[in-house]
Amino acid sequence: MADTSDTRTPAQIEADIKARRAVLAETLDEIGVRVHPKTIVGDARAKVAANIDHTLGRAYVGVNKVVTDVKAQFVDEEGGVRVERVVPVALVAVGIVGLVVFGSRRRKR
């Protein structure tokens, strides 16, 4: 059987109650701050900013990898231009620009 007798004095019981009230008041103040709309908005903004920073960082790494891969296709290990790859791409680009210019002139007539 559990001992249910309390050997504390009324003053000790009263002191315990005051201490528990202080802890409870502090806890309620913390809850009040956490559920305050400004706190919730601030936390949400911080999460969004962190997600954006993370997403932009990942995008930067991805784009950097693509640029490095493309550069590797047109530049050799020593930094020299790979003419055999640049010339065909340049010819295709000139052809596309020529078609666009020709098409726009044709529409104007």
**Separation between Cα atoms, residue 52 and residue 45, nearest integer Å:** 10
Query: Would you kindly state where each structural domain of the chain is located, as residue ranges?
Result: 10-74, 82-109
pLDDT of the residue at 3: 58
pLDDT of the residue at 108: 67
**Separation between Cα atoms, residue 49 and residue 43, nearest integer Å:** 10
Backbone angles phi, psi at 75, to 5 degrees: -130, 135
State the pTM of this model.
Answer: 0.46
pLDDT of the residue at 77: 84
**What is the rounded average pLDDT for all residues in the chain?**
90
- Low-confidence stretches of the chain (pLDDT < 70) are 1-5, 108-109
pLDDT of the residue at 103: 85
pLDDT of the residue at 21: 97
pLDDT of the residue at 102: 87
- Percent above pLDDT 70 for the chain: 94
Under a CB-based contact definition with an 8 Å cutoff, are residues 94 and 101 in contact? no
User: Among 87, 92, 86, which residue's Cα sits nearest to residue 74?
Assistant: 86
Under a CB-based contact definition with an 8 Å cutoff, are residues 90 and 78 in contact? no
pLDDT of the residue at 42: 93
Angle (deg, nearest 10), helices 10-35 and 37-74? 50
